[in-house]
Amino acid sequence: MDIPLTREGVIASSDQLPVFPRLVTQILATLEDPDASLNVLAHYIEHDPVITARVLSLANRAATHRPISSPVSDVFTAISLIGLSQVRQTALMASLAEFLNTVAPVAKRHYFWEHSVVAGVGCVELAPYATRPANVDAALIAGLLHDIGQLWLARFKGDAFRRACSDSQLFNVGIEVSERAIFGVDHAQIGAWLAINWGLSENIVSAIAGHHAPDTLADEPLVAVVHVAEVLSNALDITGNAESRVATVSEPCCAMLGLDWGEDSQQLFGRIEARSRHALGFLQ
Amino acid sequence: MRTRKLYIPIAEATTGMVLAESVKDSYRLTYLPSGLTLSEENLHQLMANHAEFICILAPDERSDAAVADDTAAATQRVRDIFKGADLTQPMTAALFQQVLAYRSA
């Protein structure tokens, strides 16, 4: 191990990262109270002009097909037009995508951003498959943040992280294996430490921690959702990234989601691809 | 004319497109059947139901040779992505086959 990392060291340097978006923790706090969430959600969104603009832009695209198409200019109308859950997911996605963009070093920005969005969309599609309830919005957050540990490594340990990436290609092993050889921990563990520090819920922390080694945690639905979404984001190659690789898909995770990869998988793939293209389009 | 199934975001839906799969509401009840040619009113229905995507039959104007070339390239790309995968594992092998079929379609 060349550069051992500790939880204390990771958390200490995370002070140099941009502030974690408050909107995400605010929305998470409303999830348990669906009756109150309409007003509260609109209030939170309206306090962020960038997110408000994203939500209104999406609503105005939808309004193209309305019989009366005056421009949508407030969050309440947007919610009535495209639905509460889509507005909430749009706000989460725009908020976290902007955060990831500011955290990522320029050279890796495009890849991380696209990969995270596709994994997040995959999580939204897969959450309803879980044989035990998995909250869709928590799944989206976990999917968007699952590789945040890699962003930390790229930002604070750039040279060593590049070596881990090239070792991974050279020896045909997973990036997490190369990272553990160099840092003693992998990006999944680093991401989990950061998620705890940001006050994210236990199931999101577990999902980030377990996305490369999910078998022992596969009875937690969100772990299975994020693992399979991450595998599909690489398998479907929606972003056309040269680094896309699949090593394995966890059998216990597939069982948790009731997936046997029969012919009906084609519909799941198509939905993930269509929604990913839509999300990547409106977030650009 | 040859066609192929395509999933598209709802923002790309236009009148005249033909549905390859029925569209269901949040209660899983079909409100637009497969084979339907979309009208302006159908687009309103999709919006009213907050649909996010549809599956259409898109005209495929590629020549046979172009289709064969595209299929070969897509197949090779999927094989590259799964190059290090353990295909003795039934789930990984099944996923590989389905992705291959999806990209070769």
Domain range annotation of chain B: 3-59, 64-104
Q: Look at residue A8 in the predicted model and tell me its pLDDT.
A: 96
With bands split at pLDDT 50, 70 and 90, how would you rate the model's confidence at B78?
very high
Q: Look at residue B43 in the predicted model and tell me its pLDDT.
A: 92
Q: Look at residue A35 in the predicted model and tell me its pLDDT.
A: 63
Measured between beta carbons, the chain B residues lying within 8 angstroms of A236 are 99, 102
* Contact (CB<8Å) A237/B77: yes
Average pLDDT over residues A252-261: 96
Nearest-CA distance B29 → chain A (Å): 17
Residue of B78, B79, B81 for testing the chain A interface, max A β-carbons within 10 Å: B81
- Positive or negative, the CA dihedral A179, A180, A182, A184 is positive
Residue A205 has pLDDT above 90, yes or no: yes
Q: Look at residue A1 in the predicted model and tell me its pLDDT.
A: 66
Q: Look at residue A67 in the predicted model and tell me its pLDDT.
A: 60
Residue of B nearest to A246 (CA): B82
| The CATH number of domain B3-59, selected from 3.90.105.10, 1.10.3210.10, 1.10.3720.10, 3.40.50.720 | 3.90.105.10
Reported as a single tens digit per residue, the pLDDT across A27-41 is 888 776 656 667 888
The answer to whether residues A201 and A139 touch, using CB atoms and an 8 Å cutoff, is: no
Nearest-CA distance A227 → chain B (Å): 13
B interface with A, Cβ–Cβ below 8 Å: 5-11, 13, 21, 40, 43-44, 46-47, 50, 52-53, 55, 77-78, 81-86, 89-92, 94-99, 101-103, 105
* Contact (CB<8Å) B52/A274: yes
Q: Which residue has the higher pLDDT, B38 or B2?
A: B38
Give the C-alpha separation, A238 to A274, whole Å.
10
For residue B40, how many other CB atoms are within 10 A of its CB?
10
Tokens at residue A61, please? Answer: 């695209």
Lowest mean pLDDT among A54-58, A202-206, A220-224, B74-78: A54-58
Q: Which residue has the higher pLDDT, A276 or A37?
A: A276
Query: For residue B84, which of A99, A37, A227, A175 has the smallest C-alpha distance?
Result: A175
* Contact (CB<8Å) B47/A260: no
Measured between beta carbons, the chain A residues lying within 8 angstroms of B7 are 270-271, 273-274
Nearest-CA distance A19 → chain B (Å): 31
Nearest-CA distance A51 → chain B (Å): 20
Reported as a single tens digit per residue, the pLDDT across A58-80 is 888 777 666 656 788 888 888 88
* Domain A7-283 fold: Hypothetical protein af1432 (1.10.3210)
Q: Look at residue B95 in the predicted model and tell me its pLDDT.
A: 97
Residue A141 has pLDDT above 80, yes or no: yes
The answer to whether residues B73 and B55 touch, using CB atoms and an 8 Å cutoff, is: no
Give the C-alpha separation, B83 to B60, whole Å.
30
Give the C-alpha separation, B68 to B57, whole Å.
19
Query: For residue A273, which of A90, A109, A117 has the smallest C-alpha distance?
Result: A117
CA atoms within 13 A on the CB side of A34: 4
Residue A245 CA, chain-centre distance (Å), reads 18
Nearest-CA distance A29 → chain B (Å): 25
Domain range annotation of chain A: 7-283
Residue A237 has pLDDT above 60, yes or no: yes
Buried b (16+ CB within 10 A) or exposed e, B54-69: bbbbeeeeeeeeeeee
Residue A284 has pLDDT above 80, yes or no: no
Kindly report the length of chain A.
284
- Considering chain A, what is the average pLDDT of its residues? 89
Q: Look at residue A60 in the predicted model and tell me its pLDDT.
A: 83
- End-to-end CA gap in chain A: 39
Task: Kindly give the interhelix angle for A148-156 and A187-197, rounded to the nearest 10 degrees.
Answer: 100
* Contact (CB<8Å) A262/B85: no
- Considering chain B, what is the average pLDDT of its residues? 92
- End-to-end CA gap in chain B: 16
Give the C-alpha separation, A236 to A246, whole Å.
10
Give the C-alpha separation, B81 to A36, whole Å.
45
The answer to whether residues A184 and A1 touch, using CB atoms and an 8 Å cutoff, is: yes
Q: Look at residue B68 in the predicted model and tell me its pLDDT.
A: 92
Measured between beta carbons, the chain B residues lying within 8 angstroms of A278 are 9-11, 52-53
Q: Look at residue A221 in the predicted model and tell me its pLDDT.
A: 95
Reported as a single tens digit per residue, the pLDDT across B4-39 is 899 998 888 999 999 999 999 878 899 999 999 999
Of A62, A246, A271, Cβ closest to residue B82: A246
Residue A216 has pLDDT above 90, yes or no: no
Give the C-alpha separation, A79 to A82, whole Å.
6
DSSP state of A81: H
* Contact (CB<8Å) B10/A81: no
Of B46, B53, B91, Cβ closest to residue A254: B91
Give the C-alpha separation, B74 to A61, whole Å.
32
DSSP string, B11-47: GG--TT-EESS-EE-TTS-EEE-TTPBP-HHHHHHHH
Nearest-CA distance A190 → chain B (Å): 25
DSSP, collapsed to helix, strand or coil, labels residue B59 as: strand
Q: What is the amino acid identity at position A33?
A: D
